[in-house]
Amino acid sequence: MGLPTIYTYRAAEVGLNVNSYLIETASGVVVLDTNLLVSDIAALRARLDALKKPLVAVFVTHAHPDHFNGILDLVRDREVPVYAGRGVAEVIEEIADAKRRQWSPTYGAEWPAETYYPNTLLSDGESVTIDDLSVSIRELGPGESHADSYYVVSGDWAHPVLFIGDLAFQRTHPYTADGHTSAWLDTLDALASELADMAVLYPGHGDPAGPADLDDQRRYLLYYREVVRRLADGQASLTDAAKTQLEQAMRAFLPNAPLTWMIGLGADAVAAELAAETNPPNR
Ligand SMILES: [Zn+2]
């Protein structure tokens, strides 16, 4: 048997180009990650409805709103298990209201008014069986977000497929504003061997790729950190002029890639992270 039937709903750049994945099983549809904005979530729901099979499960890869905002509209009044790693679910509960306050002025009514939280928590390594699919989680702690994870989906096809959330953005400027680039690099180092024989990685942003995608993300973060380090010169933030230079450097590093506004968005967080690495508090 070939690969499972996977459909992708991808938002436009205003919705961060985020991917939601729908996997069709014998009895229903599994959704991995649920999009950001109300109009995209409605389109994702229409895609689901068009498959004419019930939603049987939702899985959330990590604790960012472009991945969890759409849960409520997909689930509505149905009883559907919404899975997330324990660490991921904990962070979503902590940040969802603050993210709404932060981003509602920008997105207005496009930001969902309520959050539906994951209702079925998974421990690292735990598996869920849905028809002939097995979905298992690997929790990774802080990295791209305050709590990352990926899912391995296997069945009666040759190689398992992976849903890696935002561990590697494919040909897209990444979000670095949670300030965990050092931990993120450690995770990518560990995953390089852990995932070496995985055939297909489905990212949260960009096209499906292979494990080399993880190396690309690693190189991007190393370069981003080095440019921020030089421009910040030990300070915990960057001047506007330095942010412009950073943006020019990263645009040249990854030409023609979307989400260029992410470059400046994460600059201060990474400058602060680097400053704390140089002068660790309480030591
Ligand atoms: Zn994302």
Average pLDDT over residues 122-137: 96
Distance, CA 64 to ligand 1 centroid (Å)?
6
Asked which of 16-25, 94-103, 209-218 is least confident by mean pLDDT, the reply is: 209-218
Average pLDDT over residues 227-251: 97
The single-letter code of the amino acid at 41 is I
The better pLDDT of the pair 157, 29 is held by: 29
Q: Residue 178: what pLDDT?
A: 97
Distance, CA 167 to ligand 1 centroid (Å)?
9
Task: Report how far residue 26's alpha carbon sits from residue 36's, in angstroms, rounded to the nearest whole number.
Answer: 28
- Residue-wise pLDDT for 82-107, tens only, equals 999 999 999 999 999 999 999 999 99
Residue 37 to residues 91, 122, 172, Cα–Cα distance (Å) = 20, 26, 19
Structure confidence at residue 197 as a pLDDT band (50, 70, 90): confident
Asked whether 51 and 74 are in contact (CB, 8 A), the reply is no
Mean of all residue pLDDT scores within the chain: 95
Q: Residue 282: what pLDDT?
A: 63
Distance, CA 206 to ligand 1 centroid (Å)?
10
Q: Where are the alpha helices (DSSP H) in 18-143?
A: 38-50, 65-68, 71-75, 86-107
Structure confidence at residue 156 as a pLDDT band (50, 70, 90): confident
Q: Residue 199: what pLDDT?
A: 77
Distance, CA 175 to ligand 1 centroid (Å)?
8
pTM value is 0.96
Average pLDDT over residues 167-189: 97
The yes-or-no verdict on residue 260 having pLDDT over 60 is yes
Structure confidence at residue 254 as a pLDDT band (50, 70, 90): very high
Q: Residue 263: what pLDDT?
A: 98
Task: Report how far residue 199's alpha carbon sits from residue 201's, in angstroms, rounded to the nearest whole number.
Answer: 7
Average pLDDT over residues 7-23: 97
Q: Residue 159: what pLDDT?
A: 81
Q: Which DSSP string do the residues of 143-205 spell out, in sequence order?
A: SSSSSEEEEEEESSSSS-EEEEETSS-SSSPPP-TT--HHHHHHHHHHHHHHTTT--EEEESB
The single-letter code of the amino acid at 48 is L
The yes-or-no verdict on residue 1 having pLDDT over 70 is no
Burial 2-34 (b: 16+ CB within 10 A, else e): eebebbebbbeeebbbbbbbbbebeebbbbbbb
The yes-or-no verdict on residue 283 having pLDDT over 60 is no
Distance, CA 66 to ligand 1 centroid (Å)?
5
Distance, CA 93 to ligand 1 centroid (Å)?
17
Q: Kindly state the tokens that stand for 113.
A: 């008014």
Task: Report how far residue 202's alpha carbon sits from residue 225's, in angstroms, rounded to the nearest whole number.
Answer: 25
Structure confidence at residue 2 as a pLDDT band (50, 70, 90): low
Distance, CA 184 to ligand 1 centroid (Å)?
14
The yes-or-no verdict on residue 279 having pLDDT over 90 is no
Asked whether 151 and 30 are in contact (CB, 8 A), the reply is no
